[in-house]
């Protein structure tokens, strides 16, 4: 197939997500800090708006991906093979990837600035502001991931290829401990992200994952119905 032969295989593609495109919806932050949907309080809303505008200068988004074209879904749909390694991605994710012919392994972070700011505020007794900063940071990194996903989508479209949704270790029964395997496919400290022995990424506001690539795959809207996390804020917002 000509399209897939043009893929930049095993090359690092580094991206700097644009700050001005990190559009943060205050409604998501409200839900993120525990309010029900449609709840509104002027004081809180003002605080959220101020923090969102001040947050831009505290973020240093970085992301990137590497494509592997040896993707194979085992017939039992429990294991995905790529980058010469076997991943226990389990059923939900493996099934979504079965039509893909290649996979992009991505990392994304907004850097440590926001979590440091949040910690400082809380340590100074400004609990609520610190809490809001944390929620804004979580949403900002999601937006940075979204930009990365969109970038890959545009690149692949030029080659006549589609992409799937994104999937992360720790979600949909893919053990979070497999972060170690995933990280072994990227250079150490890539995007400024370090992995602890217990598979925690530092800075905390970071996301890792995979995106399938192929002529017959499609990206769909956020698929909460696939996941089983009943408490997740995204489910509360999207459903």
Partner 1 sequence: MDEIIVKLAICIERGKTNKTSPYPPDLREQDGADELAKQAIEAGIDANRILGACMQGMQSIGEKFAKNEAFVPELLMSAKAMNAVMVHLKPFFQSGSVQRKGKFIIGTVAGDLHDIGKKLVSMVVEGNGWEVIDLGVDVSTDKYLAAIAQHPNAIVGMSALLTTTMVNMEKSIQAIKAKYPATKVLVGGAPLTQDFANKIHADGYAPDPQAAVKLLNSYVA
- CB 67 to ligand B12: min, Å: 18
Q: Which is nearer to ligand B12, 81 or 119 (CB)?
A: 119
Among 138, 147, 148, 164, binds ligand B12 (CB under 6 A): 138
Contact 85, 181 (CB under 8 A): yes
Which of 113, 170, 192, 215 is close enough to bind ligand B12 by CB under 6 A? 170
Closer to partner 1 by CB, 2 or 37: give it.
37
Q: What are phi and psi of 53, to 5 degrees?
A: -70, -30
From the list ligand B12, partner 1, none, pick the one residue 154 interacts with, judged by a Cβ distance below 5 to 8 Å according to partner type.
none
Which residue, 200 or 223, has its beta carbon nearer to ligand B12?
Answer: 200
Distance CA 98, CA 100 (A): 6
CA distances from 116 to 60, 155, 205 (A): 13, 34, 11
Which residues sit opposite 218 in a β-bridge?
A: none
Tell me the C-alpha distance between 30 and 12, whole Å.
36
CB 130 within 8 A of CB 118: yes
Q: Does 150 contact ligand B12 by CB under 6 A?
A: no
Using the minimum distance from each CB to ligand B12, give the nearer residue, 31 or 217.
31
Footprint of ligand B12 on residues 177-206 (CB under 6 A)? 200-201, 204-206
CA dist 159 to 10, 14, 67, 68, 186, Å? 17, 19, 14, 16, 24
Residues that bind ligand B12 in the complex, under the rule CB under 6 A? 138, 141-142, 168-171, 176, 200-201, 204-209, 229, 231-233
């Amino acid at each position: 197939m000509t399209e897939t032969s043009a893929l930049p295989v095993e090359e690092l593609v580094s991206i700097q997500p644009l700050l001005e495109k990190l559009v943060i919806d205050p409604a998501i932050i409200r839900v993120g800090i525990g309010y029900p949907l449609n709840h509104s309080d002027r004081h809180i809303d003002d605080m959220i708006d101020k923090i969102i505008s001040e947050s831009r200068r505290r973020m240093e988004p970085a992301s990137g991906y590497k494509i592997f074209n040896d993707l194979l879904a085992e017939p039992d749909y429990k294991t995905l093979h790529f980058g010469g390694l076997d991943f226990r991605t389990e059923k939900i994710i493996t099934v979504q990837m079965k039509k893909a012919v290649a996979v992009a392994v991505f990392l994304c972070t907004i850097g440590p600035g926001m979590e440091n700011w949040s910690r400082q505020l809380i340590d100074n007794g400004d609990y609520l502001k610190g809490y809001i900063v944390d929620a804004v940071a979580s949403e900002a990194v999601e937006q940075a991931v979204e930009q990365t996903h969109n970038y890959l989508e545009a690149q692949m479209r030029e080659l006549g290829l589609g992409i799937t949704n994104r999937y992360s270790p720790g979600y949909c029964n893919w053990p979070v401990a497999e972060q170690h395997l995933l990280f072994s496919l990227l250079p150490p400290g890539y995007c400024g992200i370090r992995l602890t022995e217990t598979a925690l990424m530092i800075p905390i506001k970071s996301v890792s994952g995979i995106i399938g690539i192929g002529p017959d795959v499609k990206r769909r809207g956020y698929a909460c119905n696939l996941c089983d996390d009943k408490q997740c804020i995204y489910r509360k917002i999207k459903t």
